């Protein structure tokens, strides 16, 4: 199987995905959840199904602005600014008046500084995991071109995941929350996971067959491990898809983020990491 002849195709796919991600991040930005932006998120059940205008008027009466309302039958998710517990009590009693069978499902409120703090912690976590994975890969392969290509492929996946959530946020209302960050970090590790298995095989073949050049080695290794890569991703995809379809709404986007990460990770070890590694190897040969 000569999979490396598709390298121009991989280049096109990756470039398109990255460009689309950067475009979306710059022009559409993100929808931050209250975890990051600060504010309140209130999930309530109102069986009488009042209109959005009715709810908005309750909020404006109390000098509060109801920013977004999303409804699913009798369930309402309301987003508004950070409030005190007294203000919340007033709102609850107003809702009770509006609908006697009103019940609260979930409520969260936090100030803006706390959100900024979480954002800072998140960036630290990403930097720390990238660095430690870089150190691990570097020490594992003792070859900079292997390590660097694995890390670039890993960042490629993270960028596409972040970009796709910018796009999903723009069109479907997906939010960036603390769990999304967890998904990014999990993607980083699963991306490296796949790359390591492939690189391991290339090194093993290298020590066995001296005649093959790097491209041939890569082809042989990929054709040997691709079934394993795909099968392994399939099992994870089965679990995640059933979570997306059947799991609760509170972690649906989390499962989707993990799903995108796993698919990207499987693709990037063949489509990004190996072509990058080959790029450096060919240059070395030219010098000789």
Partner 1 sequence: MLKNNRQTLTIFWSILATTFLCLIINLPVNFTLFGRTFYRPSFSFNLGSSQFKPNLDLRYGLDLAGGASLLFEIDTSKTSIENLPDALESLKANIERRVNLFGVSEATVQLSSQGENHRLTVDLPGVTDINEAIKLIGQTAQLNFKGIIDLPPEATATATLKDVLVDTGLNGSHLLKAMPQPNPNTGAIEVSLEFNAEGAKLFEKATTDYLNKRLAILLDEEIITAPQVGVIIPDGKAVINGNFDIKSAKFLSAQLNAGALSLPIKLIQQSQVGASLGQDSINKGIRAGLIGLALVSFFMIGNYGFLGLIADFGLIIYGLITLTLYRLIPVTLTFPGIVGFILSVGMAVDSNILIFERMKEELRAGKSWNNSLEISFGRAWNSIKDANTCTIITALILFNPFNWSFLNSSGMVRGFAVTLLLGIVLGIFTGVFVTRNLLRVLARKKL
Query: 102: helix, coil or strand?
Result: coil
80 belongs to the binding site for partner 1 (CB under 8 A): no
- Indicate which single residue of 24, 122, 149, 219 sits in contact with partner 1 (rule: CB under 8 A): 122
CA dihedral 255, 261, 264, 268 (to 10 degrees): -160
Give start and end residues of each alpha helix (H) in the chain.
Answer: 7-27, 34-37, 52-61, 85-98, 112-141, 144-172, 178-208, 214-246, 252-268, 274-287
279 belongs to the binding site for partner 1 (CB under 8 A): no
Query: 91: helix, coil or strand?
Result: helix
Which CB, 139 or 285, lies closer to partner 1? 139
Q: Nearest-CA neighbor of 106 among 133, 76, 148, 71?
A: 76
Which CB, 166 or 186, lies closer to partner 1? 186
Cα(235)–Cα(227) distance, integer angstroms: 12
104 belongs to the binding site for partner 1 (CB under 8 A): yes
Which CB, 4 or 181, lies closer to partner 1? 181
Which CB, 142 or 288, lies closer to partner 1? 142
Could you list the residues that contact partner 1 (CB under 8 A)? 43, 84-85, 88-89, 103-111, 114, 117-118, 120-122, 124-125, 128-129, 132-133, 136, 140, 178-179, 181-182, 185-186, 188-190, 192-194, 196-197, 200-201, 224-225, 227-228, 231-232, 234-243, 245-248, 250-251, 254-255, 258
């Amino acid at each position: 199987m000569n999979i490396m002849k598709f390298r121009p195709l991989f280049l096109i796919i990756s470039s398109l995905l990255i460009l689309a991600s950067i475009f979306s991040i710059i022009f559409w930005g993100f929808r931050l959840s209250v975890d990051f932006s600060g504010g309140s998120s209130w999930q309530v059940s109102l069986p009488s199904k009042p209109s959005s205008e009715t709810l908005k008027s309750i909020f404006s009466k109390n000098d509060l602005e109801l920013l977004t309302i999303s409804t699913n039958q009798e369930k309402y998710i309301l987003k508004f600014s950070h409030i005190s517990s007294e203000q919340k009590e007033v709102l609850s009693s107003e809702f009770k008046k509006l609908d006697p069978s009103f019940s609260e499902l979930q409520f969260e409120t936090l100030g803006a500084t706390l959100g900024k703090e979480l954002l800072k912690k998140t960036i630290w976590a990403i930097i720390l995991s990238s660095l430690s994975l870089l150190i691990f890969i570097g020490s594992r392969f003792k070859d900079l071109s292997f390590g660097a290509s694995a890390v670039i492929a890993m960042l490629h996946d993270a960028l596409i995941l972040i970009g796709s959530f910018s796009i999903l946020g723009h069109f479907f209302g997906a939010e960036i929350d603390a769990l999304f960050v967890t998904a990014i970090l999990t993607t980083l590790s699963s991306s490296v996971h796949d790359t390591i298995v492939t690189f391991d095989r290339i090194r093993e073949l290298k020590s066995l067959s001296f005649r093959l050049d790097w491209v041939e080695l890569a082809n042989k290794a990929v054709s040997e491990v691709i079934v394993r890569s795909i099968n392994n991703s399939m099992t994870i995809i089965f679990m995640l898809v059933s979570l997306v379809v059947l799991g609760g709404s509170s972690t649906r986007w989390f499962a989707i983020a993990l799903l995108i990460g796993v698919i990207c990770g499987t693709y990037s070890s063949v489509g990004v990491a190996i072509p990058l590694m080959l790029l450096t190897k060919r240059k070395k040969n030219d010098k000789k």
